[in-house]
Amino acid sequence: MPINITSHELFTASQQLKSFIDRFVPEGRLTGALPSISTDYVKLQDEVMWGGVWQVPGLDVTLRSIATISAQCCNGWGFGLHHQVRVGLSLGMSPQKIKGLFLQLMFYAGIPATVFALSQAQRVINERTEWISEDRMPLKADWLDSVEKKFQHAQSVITSNMDSGVVLSRLDSLEEQFIPELHRLIESYEYGEVWRRSDLSTKERMACILVALMCRGHWHQFGEHVRRCLNGSLTQREVCELVSQAGWYRGWPYVEDALAIIDELLAESTREH
């Protein structure tokens, strides 16, 4: 996005996007009162968020929506979740994909946040007949019948999605040392079951995990996950745009901290090669 773009051009771009994604917004929603509360706030939101952040090249709009929904799940604000789930559905994401995000985020945002997110998502899905109809065709999950099978499949998923150094560190992890039974159970269900589902692509899973780790401030795990993302699932530009998109909803200092870690990892990779 060129620096010489005008405020009017940003506003026009924001209105074009909002006219599409706000087609199904109910009357009387919270932001409907914002112009009478603070026209300056609305101007900032329209020009910076909808006209700017959402339209910067380098990341498709579905991944931007996934990043935003994931950030709002971590934030736990009902209004923000309502609106962003509605945006995702308006962009063509299925109810199964929306719910699949919260299944994946269960392991990173926690049970309370994802239970709340699922309940809020269902409220939005129930607003429109077509979304309800889609929701009544749930994803058929072929659950494996033993933890052993899940664990075996998990190891295959981990090996194919992480570089060898990360795999070795996981096998020698603190979890394996101190809580081996629980560690293997969690790994079996996350990688052996949730990752097998077709509601999200590998890229989408990596994206929502990246956002959750940033929004929760888990910087050590964030750095490890960036390595995995850059191992083939996401480009450098996509990783940077994902944290920038989520940071608008979590707070810009999180973006600055995340970019500092990404910069260190890229510099380290350059030295190694």
Q: What is the pLDDT of residues 133-182, one digit of tens each?
A: 999 988 888 899 999 999 999 999 988 877 655 555 665 578 888 898 99
The per-residue pLDDT for 79 is 81
- Residue 183, domain extent: 142-192
| Close Cβ partners of 3 (under 8 Å, ≥ 6 residues apart) | none
Return the axis-axis angle of helices 202-215 and 95-109, rounded to nearest 10°.
40
* Residue 180 located in a structural domain: yes
> Which pTM value belongs to this model?
0.92
| Tens digit of each residue's pLDDT (9 = 90 or more) over 15-33 | 999 888 888 877 545 555 6
Domain-embedded: residue 164: yes
Checking if the pLDDT of 199 tops 60, the result is yes
- The answer to whether position 207 is within a domain reads no
Best-predicted range by mean pLDDT among 32-36, 46-50, 66-70, 75-79?
66-70
Q: Does residue 92 lie in a domain region?
A: no
Domain count, the chain: 1
- The answer to whether residue 154 is domain-embedded is yes
Say if 170 falls within a structural domain.
yes
Taking all residues of the chain, what is their mean pLDDT, rounded to a whole number? 91
184 inside domain: yes
Q: Is the pLDDT of residue 200 over 80?
A: yes
